[in-house]
Chain A
Amino acid sequence: MSTLTIADVERIARLANLELTHDEKELFTKQLADILAYAEQVQAVDTTGVEATAHVNAHGVERADEPKPCLEVSEAVANAPDAAPEAGLFRVPRVIG
């Protein structure tokens, strides 16, 4: 039986880039614990030697690595909340705290 603490939820939220409120953290601690307890039933299945399915029709799809037309820079930045379209750049807050 997995147990989940608020500290676990805070750790996962950091990994997921989600700033949760205190109420959300409490709610998710309970709900995620319930869901994981339910999901633990898969561990009862014997999967010795069974390959994992990541994809149902995985097939090698290769193409020549050649330049082709793609989105114009102006189109690529058109939806950005903050951009410098003339420079073709997205603008973001400072990276180092």
Chain B
Amino acid sequence: MTLTTAREIREAVVVGKASAVEFARAALARIEQTNPTLNAFNHLVAERAIAQATRIDQQRAAGATLGPLAGVPVALKDNLCVKGVRTTASSKILDTFHPPYSATVVDKLESAGAVIIGKTNCDEFAMGSSNENSAYGPVRNPWATDRTPGGSSGGSAAAVAAQCVPLALGSDTGGSIRQPASFCGVVGLKPTYGRVSRYGLLAFASSLDQIGPFTRTVADAAIALSALSGRDAMDSTSSAEAVPDFASALTGDIRGVRVGVPRAFVADGVDEAVRRAFDQALDVLREAGATLVDVDLPHARYAIPVYYLICTAEASSNLARYDGVKYGHRAATTKDDTLFTMYSRTRDEGFGPEVKRRIMLGTYVLSAGYYDAFYLKAQQVRTLLRQDYARALEQADVIVMPTSPTPPFTLGEKTDDPLQMYLADIFTVSVNLAGLPGVSIPCGFTDGSEHLPLGFQVIGRMFDEATMLRVADAYERATTWAKSVAPL
């Protein structure tokens, strides 16, 4: 049984060519085969998956109309809560946490007929760009196992690339869906801020976090986005904006669509292979009838400092809840220790180095004397950056740029220098700061024996994922990258 795309699997289940249980078993078998190498999954929920798949098969037997993801095996990043299922965010501090409720996206997936297979590895609390900050060890890239799959949703990207599942969810605060999608040669979509409810996502930076899908094709990403989106009373930042059938927007026709290229922003610091693949992608879009226009994002060069000042401030506040009282790890104390000793010892034992570093940085920039110079200033530059994008998206219908300035890097290459790791996020973080939707799609490989995946991203206007996906889909149709399969 080959696990192809979500759309094909659903179709096979609907016509009775194969059962949801067969697809679930195939996914579990493929994970068992690949996980010793990839470490993409933290844990599986085999019994739960078979039970849900059995329900789908029974619904079909009873003649019920099946949902848009019926029988589709799905993996979830381990920072998404599933009631009663261990949810760790790849942190020691939550090693034994079993949430008392499910994330809204989990309920939405299951009511669409999807079958949750397991929880994927990620950087601890989604903080990282290489998946090396997981308490459960790094994930390896299915295309080259000495390389990082990207981060922070590295396990979800690797699981789709290695054909363990056709659909996986991740979260994207500063690129954590798009960058690993690019590194693993799959599609990764960050919706408009507010499009998808964040209820049940373990919070990292609440003004930036969004949940989104990893898939093999743009069409699957569109189907998944329609299933995930919508206003949710449990998340006051979720939007009441109407949710279109995104798949019907994929007409293949992009004649006359204005594609903005921020040439000055992408001029420096881009690896030669990435630049070549991006230039070729521009040619493909032009040949498909799009009009390329130059756009300027003068404040994008400040995106990294602005992002790391804001996200760490928000993280220091969000992660204050992990204190050894309500859930998770608690440090051993003696009779003489006070509550405050317990708090600080618990947090020292439970958090890994990158999480501590970000809590420290965020606490610093929010502290008296530094708030105006760092945090407030960053929020003001965020406004200027949003205005840059708003102007550019008047001149263009979408904006394109590389997803990552480099191909997937080697495990261990940047772990000693946090600032170097942060700089790798240059093309993804500004999209989160502006709240815009972005989708990364494969656009080729590096030359020679390395053959590492490369990607570029299409960025849309607020709540106009439809145009963004139409452009991405038209590119996909004009190229063959989506058919490439990791050699693992």
A, B: real partners: yes
Instruction: State in angstroms the CA–CA spacing of A61 and B343 once bound together.
Output: 34
Which of B125-133, B375-383, B450-458 lies on the face that meets chain A?
B375-383
Question: Are A52 and B383 in contact, CB atoms less than 8 angstroms apart?
Answer: yes
Q: Is the CB of A16 within 8 A of B325?
A: no
Contact A79 B435 (CB under 8 A): no
B179 at the interface (CB under 8 A from A): no
Knowing A31-B357, A53-B386, A57-B194 touch, does A18 contact B379 (C-beta < 8 A)?
A: no
B409 at the interface (CB under 8 A from A): no
**With A12-B364, A28-B357, A45-B381: A93-B342 Cβ-Cβ less than 8 Å:** yes
- Smallest distance from the beta carbon of A23 to chain B beta carbons, Å? 11
A50 sits at the interface (CB 8 A) = yes
CB contacts under 8 Å to A, within B423-445, are 433-435
Contact of B207 with A by CB under 8 A:
yes
B381 touches A47 (CB 8 A): yes
Does A79 lie within 8 Å of B342, measured CB to CB? no
**Complex CA distance for A54 and B366, rounded to whole angstroms:** 13
Q: Quick check: is B316 within 8 A (CB to CB) of the other chain? A: yes
Residues of B within 8 A of A39 (CB): 305, 308-309, 374, 378
Complex CA gap A31/B419 in Å reads 8
Scoring B residues 234 to 250 as 1 if CB is less than 8 Å from chain A, else 0, what string do you get?
00110100000000000
A35 near B337 with CB under 8 A, answer no
Cβ-closest chain A residue relative to B386: A53
The interface centre, meaning the residue of A43, A51, A56, A76 with most chain B CB atoms within 10 A of its CB, is A56
Tier of interface size on chain B: 35 or more
Q: Which of B302, B308, B339, B363 contacts A16 (CB 8 A)?
A: B363
Contact with B along A2-17 (1 / 0, CB 8 A): 0000001100111111
Q: In the complex, which of the residues B348, B363, B418 contacts A12, with contact meaning CB atoms closer than 8 Å?
A: B363
The reply to whether A18 and B419 form a contact with Cβ atoms under 8 Å apart is: no
Interface size on A, residues (CB 8 A): 53
**Contact status A95-B338, CB under 8 Å:** yes
Distance in angstroms from B74 CB to nearest chain A CB is 25
Assembled-state Cα–Cα distance A57/B337 (Å): 45
Query: In the complex the two chains form, is A34's CB within 8 Å of B419's CB?
Result: yes
- With a cutoff of 8 Å between Cβ atoms, the chain A residues found around residue B351 in the complex are 18
Pairwise interchain contact A97-B338, C-beta atoms closer than 8 A: yes
> Which B residues form the contact surface with A (CB < 8 A)?
96-98, 100-101, 193-194, 207, 233, 236-237, 239, 299, 302, 304-306, 308-309, 316, 320, 323-330, 333, 337-345, 347-348, 351, 353, 356-357, 359-361, 363-364, 367, 373-374, 376-384, 386, 418-419, 422, 433-435, 462
